[in-house]
Amino acid sequence: MVVCNPFDDAPHLRLVPLPEGCALQGVEVERNNFHGWQRTREFLDQRRFIRPSEGKLRYVEILGFNYDTAAAAAEPPNDPTVRMWTLVDQAGPNPTNTWELEYEAPFADIWAHDSYVAAGLPPDKVPNLALVDPDNHGVAYFFHGTRLFGLDVRARRVVACDECVIDDAPIDMVDGGYLSSRFVEAWVPPEPDLTPQILRYNEEKERKVIEYVEDWLSHIEWTNQDVVG
């Protein structure tokens, strides 16, 4: 991960390594094969990302896949598990202390949960990563085809599930079940704030009162001058 603070007096790029054991070597080799490398990148979009949640950066990965080649990346995973780390010290001297493991859950446990079955989600098929709840890092969202579902990872419980239509996604990715974190972002919409409107109304009301009083005082002043004259 590349980090830069544009507000520093002298901004510069710094490389923050991923959690230990998460760096990939095979993907670099695949650069000589464009189509293979492109397909591998699509798999990576489905299986790992970095997203903000509760004011911190979270790295989420589905482990169990082999990325040495595009063909290997397409193979069924070995004991697939979802895992999350939190960035705790991006400037520390020890890379092993940069990330802190938050949780991990084998998909075997997730598929066996009653809520997964009740949601009508197919077991034994690893879903694609979509996003992390911006207010609760314990809840991650996944794609199963065009269905988007939220998962309380620690409890292995599905907390939400619905169809998700993405107009800009390529049709082959939608039909092929390749929707992933590339196509969605999460944010918290601001709460409606009526205070500025009230303030503006009060300020306008106050301005009109002041203008009226000033006009009235001016009228009184001219009247007094006429009387004195």
pLDDT tens digits, residue range 105-150?
Answer: 999 999 999 999 999 998 889 999 999 999 999 999 999 888 899 9
Mean pLDDT of the chain: 78
pLDDT given for residue 156 in this prediction: 96
pLDDT given for residue 175 in this prediction: 47
CA atoms of 55 and 87, how far apart (whole Å): 11
- Of 212 and 181, the structure prediction assigns the larger pLDDT to 181
- DSSP label at 124? T
pLDDT given for residue 123 in this prediction: 87
Helix (H, G, I), strand (E, B) or coil at 30: helix
Give the tens place of pLDDT for each residue, 181-201: 777 777 777 776 655 555 555
For residue 40, give every residue at least 6 positions away whose Cβ sits within 8 Å of its Cβ, in sequence order, or none: 26, 27, 30, 67, 69, 70, 73
Q: Are 54 and 137 in contact (CB under 8 A)?
A: yes
Helix (H, G, I), strand (E, B) or coil at 162: strand
Take residue 106 and report the two structure tokens written for it: 């084998």
How many Cα atoms are found within 13 Å in the side-chain-facing hemisphere of 23? 10
- Of 4 and 221, the structure prediction assigns the larger pLDDT to 4
Take residue 105 and report the two structure tokens written for it: 């859950």
Spans of all domains in the chain: 2-183, 193-229
Give the tens place of pLDDT for each residue, 68-104: 766 777 788 889 999 999 998 766 555 567 899 999 9
Side chain identity at 94, as an amino acid letter? N
Give me the percent of the chain exceeding a pLDDT of 90: 34
CA atoms of 83 and 59, how far apart (whole Å): 8
Longest CA–CA span in the chain (Å) reads 104
CA atoms of 105 and 113, how far apart (whole Å): 12
